[in-house]
Structure formats: structure tokens, C-alpha cells
Amino acid sequence: MTIVLNGEPADLAPDATVADVVTSLGHDPSLPGVAVAIDGVVVRRVDWPRTPLADGAVVEVLTAVQGGC
């Protein structure tokens, strides 16, 4: 299965969940500080382990950086 992860194609196992994707980016999915949207819709952190990904999904994984005026 291939998704678009933060703008780049990424190959995943067929049963991969949102939690797996977050882990692959080096973030512990049980901790706050990161948000995920699939096709522009936010997925709540509690739902990450049980949310599967579909082939072709556009996934954005964001965190806080320095910013503001």
C-alpha cells in the first residue's frame, strides 16, 4: 500500500494504522505534541491505533515549530 505522507510517497504494510505511521516518524503515538489529518480531516489521537489507512491516502503529520509574527 502506498500513501502520500507529508508530501512524499510512502510504502506501508497492508494493515498499517495511523499509529504505525506516527511511530515511523519517530514519535511515540501515546504522547501529545503531534496531530494527524487524513485527506484533510483530523484523526483524534485515541483513534490512531484503530484507524487503518487506505491506498492513496494523503496523510499529514504535524508538530509545533517556532512561529508567530
In angstroms, the Cα distances linking 63 to 14, 21, 27, 39, 60 are 26, 14, 10, 17, 10
Closer Cβ to another protein, 54 or 66, answer by number = 66
Rounded CA-CA distance 29/48 in Å is: 8
Closer Cβ to another protein, 13 or 31, answer by number = 31
Q: Which residues bind another protein (CB under 8 A)?
A: 6-7, 25-27, 32-37, 40-42, 44-45, 60-69
Closer Cβ to another protein, 31 or 54, answer by number = 31
CB of 6 to another protein, least distance (A): 4
Which residues have a Cβ under 8 Å from the Cβ of 44 and sit 6 or more positions away? none
CB of 55 to another protein, least distance (A): 21
